[in-house]
């Protein structure tokens, strides 16, 4: 039997749960070229961490993440921490010769992302970035349909990612601190739909024509505040960012991200229109892809609802899960990606392309161009952003 891939994880909050579950599940549902072994988890709070490790099956835990870099038995390090520490942790692991899987966005600033990309180019280990929505069967199918020419020449892309959790009552956290997050809804949500656009269309963004960034809630209650001892702090990130762009083939694209869209809990959506057809996807109905074939007779043409769960090898990833229409959920995208990472590290082809630090840097360049455009109120060519 091949030697198990020894995995360590940094971070034990929301992403810590999603990633722990993925590494635990991947070997159960996928026929992998080598087994996965959970090795060590690191986080700051010792009391919470010990319980987390026991619950999720991590045999070792530490409050000193550098212990992982120093442990020569660990092969891959998964970084699920706030954006501002990605660079330090990733560079330490790459210098130690380890493979690194990092949460998105790649970093809190473009300069840090560039340093990470350059370090990855020099490193022995491989890099991966958790753009998990690529691993939804419907999104992977959309990518395949475009690559097969089913949409013809791409004309328009419209993408938006709308959430509602960031309202006035949401307390101040690192996600509202520019020094730690880099940006707000922009880096958190636009990062996903920029990557999705690049992935599905196979095109790059060449110019940002205009952008608007707004912070509507400028102060938030600090965690731990009470009625007797209220405390507020400034929110220094955007609540909403919208921008227009062009792609390499001349297509136009629009992007919108906000965490203040009441009634939209996790509406990650994209629509692509081409000369031969169109498709659209909405994560709140994640198992479905809508497809319109413009080459069909007008007598019967219309939007086709595709349930992307066919297990007979017709839909990406579906054969590893449940019978037809026994639908998948949010966590399955992470598990699908964990399986693809193991395949890539075993020189096997992943189901669909895995983003690395170089690819995530290209997405970060687009995010930076949009922020510059919003600040300076002008168009920004991507060749000007390095």
Instruction: Provide mean pLDDT across the span 159-187.
Output: 96
Give the pLDDT of residue 225.
72
Has residue 67 got a pLDDT over 70?
yes
pLDDT-derived band of residue 209, with 50, 70 and 90 as boundaries? very high
Q: How far is CA 161 from CA 24, 150, 165, 188, 323, in A?
A: 29, 25, 13, 10, 30
363-386, pLDDT tens digit by residue? 999 999 999 999 999 999 999 999
DSSP letter assigned to residue 355: P
Average pLDDT over residues 201-208: 98
Q: Which residue has the tokens 């909405």?
A: 282
What is the number of alpha carbons within 13 Å of residue 364 lying toward its C-beta?
27
Bridge partners of residue 245, in order along the sequence:
208, 253
Rounded to the nearest 10 degrees, what angle do helices 330-345 and 14-29 cross at? 60
pLDDT at 223: 86
pLDDT of residue 313: 81
The CATH class that applies to domain 136-324+357-376 reads alpha beta
pLDDT above 90 covers what percent of the chain? 96
Q: Would you list the domain boundaries of the chain?
A: 5-132, 136-324+357-376
* DSSP string of 272-286, one letter each residue: EEESSEEEEEEGGGT
What topology is assigned to 5-132 in CATH?
Rossmann fold (3.40.50)
């Amino acid at each position: 039997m091949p030697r198990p891939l020894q995995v360590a994880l940094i971070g034990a909050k929301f992403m810590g749960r999603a990633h722990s579950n993925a590494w635990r599940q991947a070997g159960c549902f996928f026929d992998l070229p080598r087994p996965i072994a959970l090795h060590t988890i690191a986080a700051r709070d010792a009391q919470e961490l010990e319980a987390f490790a026991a619950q999720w099956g991590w045999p070792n835990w530490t409050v000193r993440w550098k212990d992982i870099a120093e442990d020569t038995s660990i092969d891959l390090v998964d970084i699920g921490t706030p954006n501002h520490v990605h660079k330090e942790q990733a560079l330490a692991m790459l210098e130690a010769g380890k493979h690194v899987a990092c949460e998105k966005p790649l970093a809190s600033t473009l300069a840090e992302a560039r340093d990470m990309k350059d370090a990855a180019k020099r490193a022995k280990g491989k890099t991966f970035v958790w753009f998990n929505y690529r691993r939804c069967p419907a999104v992977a199918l959309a990518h395949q349909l475009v690559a097969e020419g089913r949409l013809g020449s791409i004309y328009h892309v419209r993408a938006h990612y709308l959430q509602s959790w960031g309202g006035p009552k949401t307390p101040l956290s690192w996600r509202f601190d520019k020094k730690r997050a880099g940006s707000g809804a922009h880096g958190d949500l636009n990062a996903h739909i920029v990557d999705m656009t690049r992935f599905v269309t196979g095109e790059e963004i060449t110019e940002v024509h205009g952008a608007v960034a707004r912070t509507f809630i400028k102060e938030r209650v600090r965690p731990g505040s009470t009625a007797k001892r209220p405390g507020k702090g400034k929110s220094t990130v955007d609540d909403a960012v919208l921008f227009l762009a062009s792609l390499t083939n001349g297509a136009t694209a629009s992007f919108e991200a906000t965490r203040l869209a009441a009634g939209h809990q996790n509406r990650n959506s994209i629509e692509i229109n081409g000369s031969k057809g169109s498709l659209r996807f909405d994560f709140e109905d994640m198992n479905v892809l809508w497809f319109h074939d413009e080459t069909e007779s007008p007598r019967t043409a219309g939007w086709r609802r595709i349930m992307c769960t066919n297990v007979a090898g017709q839909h990406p990833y579906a054969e590893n899960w449940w019978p037809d229409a026994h639908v998948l959920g949010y966590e399955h995208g992470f598990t699908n990606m964990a399986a693809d990472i193991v395949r890539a590290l075993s020189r096997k082809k992943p189901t669909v392309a895995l983003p690395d630090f170089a690819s995530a840097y290209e997405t970060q360049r687009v995010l930076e161009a949009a922020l510059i455009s919003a600040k300076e109120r002008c168009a920004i060519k991507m060749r000007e952003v390095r």
